[in-house]
Amino acid sequence: MAPYEPVVLHGDLGLNNVSIDPETGALLGVFDFGQACVGDPHLDLRYDPIYEAGGPGMRPSYEAARGVALIPERVAFFHALSALHNLSISIDHEPPELLAIRQGWVDAVAAWDPATYSPP
C-alpha cells in the first residue's frame, strides 16, 4: 500500500453517525466521535460501500472537504477488512440474525471483481 498523510479520523463514519437533509442531501452534522483517532484517511470511508454499492458514495464529498484524492482500492481494502472483523466479533457476541447480516456482508465482498475492486 502506498504511503499516506495521517489525518484525524472520525473512526466510525457511516449513515448511522451523520445527519443529512432529506430534501437537499446536504450534510447537516456528524456525531459520535468515540472512535476518533489519527490514521490513514481511507479508513474513514470503510463503511461507505455498504450504503452506495457501485457508486461513489461519500468519497467525492470527503475528498473535497479533506483536500485529498483517495484510492478506491484502498478504501475497498479497509471495507473488506471491516467485514471480516465484524463477522469475527458477531460469531460469539451477537444474535444469530445479526450474524446472518454480517455473513452477507462478507459474501458481498467475496463477490467483488478482483480486477476492479468494485462491488458487482
Kindly state whether residue 118 falls inside one of the protein's structural domains.
Answer: no
CATH number at residue 61: 3.90.1200.10
For the chain, the domain total comes to 1
3-state DSSP of 62-92? HHHHHCCCCCHHHHHHHHHHHHHHHHHHHHH
- Amino acid 71: pLDDT: 85
Kindly state whether residue 29 falls inside one of the protein's structural domains.
Answer: yes
Q: What does the mean pLDDT of the chain come to?
A: 79
Kindly state whether residue 37 falls inside one of the protein's structural domains.
Answer: yes
Residues 117 and 72: beta-carbon distance below 8 Å: yes
**Domain span at 32:** 7-110
Kindly state whether residue 36 falls inside one of the protein's structural domains.
Answer: yes
Kindly state whether residue 24 falls inside one of the protein's structural domains.
Answer: yes
CA angle 86, 88, 90 (to 5 degrees): 70
pLDDT, tens digit, 9 for 90 and up, residues 98-116:
777 778 777 877 777 666 5
Kindly state whether residue 120 falls inside one of the protein's structural domains.
Answer: no
Tell whether pTM > 0.75. no
- Amino acid 55: pLDDT: 56
- Amino acid 54: pLDDT: 52
Kindly state whether residue 59 falls inside one of the protein's structural domains.
Answer: yes
Kindly state whether residue 115 falls inside one of the protein's structural domains.
Answer: no
